């Protein structure tokens, strides 16, 4: 009799385990999006907002800047290994893409900058910081939305709804910027990424690009920068918050121009509205320029 009762209890326990949800299974059933770095993360977070069965993870830390010279870590590869899709900016920023494709031949990579025209530097080098142009950022959103709907069709309507809401806010942001930056302001910049901000913020910018690693200029280039500022009566020197300010300080000390720090949105908080909030902060800084 005891054996019969024991068998019945075991069968009941097995049946209960079969019907109870498996947390591990539920976790694995989520569609996982991994983004290369922060600008792509802001898009993926906004597109997936409120969708419970979609998980978004950023490969590089939100504190890391541009990926021009980034080296993949074991932790990065583990994140990508479990991804359904990997979203990159493209245009040469993620120079490690070939290694990822070689390591994970079946990975689905979404190129956010597909068919987006970018600025040219010195007649040959392309400026890949396209997310700093609101119009181009909107195109990136659309590119990513279309690809996500292809790979995760069950959530295509959710992606579409979120994209429409986000794009509407971005268009309002651009209208606000246009209304508050009607007067053109002349600047000297030490960061190529700022060139895209010039399009939206009505800035006339002379850019002197510094080396990604050294952040230093030769004596000849510094002399040119000082002379340019004096001859053109430039009052504003712009640097990116990720750029060392030693060059800018030297020019400012010699010319009396003032330094302004803008944010190229290479890093930031884990917030769906961070792009808009950072751009509004940039707007306040531009408004304060001479």
**pLDDT tens-place string over residues 166-222:** 999 999 999 999 999 999 999 999 888 888 899 899 999 998 866 544 457 888 999
Identify the pLDDT of residue 106.
Answer: 87
pLDDT of residue 72 exceeding 80, the answer is yes
Higher local confidence (pLDDT), 146 or 8:
146
Identify the pLDDT of residue 174.
Answer: 98
Identify the pLDDT of residue 29.
Answer: 83
Identify the pLDDT of residue 217.
Answer: 82
Give the mean model confidence (pLDDT) for residues 125-139.
Answer: 91
Domains 28-177 and 182-287 share a fold: yes
Give the mean model confidence (pLDDT) for residues 140-144.
Answer: 98
In SS3 terms, 254-274 reads as HHCCEEEEECCCCCCCCCCCH
Q: Closest by alpha carbon to 212, among 239, 241, 242?
A: 242
**pLDDT tens-place string over residues 221-267:** 999 999 999 999 999 999 998 888 899 999 999 999 999 999 999 99
pLDDT of residue 36 exceeding 60, the answer is yes
Higher local confidence (pLDDT), 23 or 158:
158
In order of 140, 178, 239, 258, 282, the CA distances from 249 in angstroms are: 35, 30, 10, 9, 20
**Boundaries of every domain in the chain:** 28-177, 182-287
Q: Does CATH place domain 182-287 in 3.40.190.10?
A: no
User: pTM for the complete prediction?
Assistant: 0.86
Identify the pLDDT of residue 14.
Answer: 45
Integer Cα distance of 236 and 226 in angstroms = 12
CB atoms closer than 10 angstroms to residue 226: 18
What architecture is domain 28-177? 3-Layer(aba) Sandwich (3.40)
Q: For residue 236, report the phi and psi dihedrals to the nearest 5 degrees.
A: -120, 125
Question: DSSP assignment of 177-235, as one string?
Answer: HHHH--S-EEEEES-TTHHHHHHHHTEEEEE-PPPTTT----HHHHHHHHHHHHHTT--
């Amino acid at each position: 009799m005891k054996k019969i009762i024991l068998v019945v209890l075991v069968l009941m326990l097995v049946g209960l385990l079969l019907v109870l949800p498996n947390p591990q299974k539920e976790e694995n059933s989520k569609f996982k999006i991994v983004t290369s770095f922060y600008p792509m993360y802001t898009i993926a977070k906004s597109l997936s907002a409120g969708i419970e069965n979609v998980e978004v993870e950023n490969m590089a830390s939100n504190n890391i800047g541009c990926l021009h010279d980034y080296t993949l870590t074991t932790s990065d590869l583990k994140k990508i290994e479990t991804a359904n899709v990997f979203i990159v900016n493209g245009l040469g920023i993620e120079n490690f893409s070939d290694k990822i494709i070689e390591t994970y031949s079946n990975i689905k990579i979404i190129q956010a900058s597909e068919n987006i025209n970018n600025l040219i530097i010195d007649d040959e080098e392309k400026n890949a910081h396209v997310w700093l142009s609101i119009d181009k950022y909107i195109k990136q959103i659309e590119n990513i939305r279309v690809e996500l709907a292809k790979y995760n069709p069950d959530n295509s309507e959710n992606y579409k709804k979120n994209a429409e809401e986000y794009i509407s806010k971005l268009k309002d942001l651009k209208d606000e910027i246009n209304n508050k930056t009607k007067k053109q302001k002349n600047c000297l910049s030490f960061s190529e990424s700022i060139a895209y901000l010039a399009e939206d913020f009505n800035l006339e910018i002379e850019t002197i690009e510094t080396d990604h690693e050294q952040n230093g200029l030769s004596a000849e280039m510094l002399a040119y920068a000082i002379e340019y500022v004096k001859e053109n009566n430039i009052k504003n020197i712009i640097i990116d918050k990720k750029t060392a300010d030693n060059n800018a300080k030297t020019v400012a000390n010699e010319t009396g121009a003032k330094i302004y720090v803008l944010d190229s949105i290479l890093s930031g908080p884990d917030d769906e509205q961070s792009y808009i909030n950072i751009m509004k902060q940039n707007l306040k800084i531009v408004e304060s320029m001479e």
